[in-house]
Amino acid sequence: MVFGLLLLFGLSASVWAAPKTLLVLGDSLSAGYGIRIEQAWPSLMQQKLGKDWQVVNASVSGETTAGGLTRLPAALKQHKPAVVLVELGANDGLRGLPVEAAKLNLSTIIEQSRKAGARVGLIAIRLPPNFGGAYTTKFDAMFRELAKQHKLPAPPFLLDGIAEHPEMFLPDQLHPTAAAQPKVLANVWPLVQTLTKR
């Protein structure tokens, strides 16, 4: 009888276990700029992950690494994520801000997220070549260097296979269309699998 009750209790606890939280800390590329929020790749990721995970999209259009770092402590405290996906840096690059400052901000975001008990994934962004060879090279290398420094999985390029296709962007040629969002998710999905299946 007691064994049966314990078994029933165990089954009930597993059925009603709260989903783990995956926090997306990003900019307009993750916030669904110019499209419906349910079409954005974080929403598609929620559908793919299912009920065991809750995706909290804390992305804000126009966000920089400094802004993300400022908002992070409150997000960590409120949502207590098991996983944090960081998609920041594009606006730093587009504004020509110092790469060293962006790198320090991202490094601190990684450290604070880990200190809060979350596993961290970093998503890479690349700049158009018209920003100058030296700056773009340094900017591109930043994500690989951070991954190596913090022993993170290799950062996927968010717009891999998309950046070369103007028709996959809104008229501003900066933000992917709704039709491109499944491809964006496909680029990120291997990293998501690595972080959520441990």
Which sequence spans correspond to the domains of the chain? 20-196
Tokens of 34: 């110019």
Q: Respond yes or no: is residue 165 known to be catalytic.
A: no
What's the CA angle centered on 195, arms 70 and 67, to 5 degrees? Answer: 10
CATH code for residues 20-196 = 3.40.50.1110
Residue 39's pLDDT is 98
Q: Which of 8-12, 157-161, 177-181 has the lowest mean pLDDT?
A: 8-12
pTM of the model as a whole: 0.90
Among candidate residues 14, 27, 28, 140, the one labeled active-site is 28
Q: Respond yes or no: is residue 79 known to be catalytic.
A: no
Give per-residue pLDDT as tens, 53-87.
Answer: 999 999 999 999 999 999 999 999 999 999 999 99
For residue 154, how far is the Cα from the chain centroid? 13
Whether 46 and 55 have beta carbons less than 8 Å apart is answered as yes
Average pLDDT over residues 1-25: 65
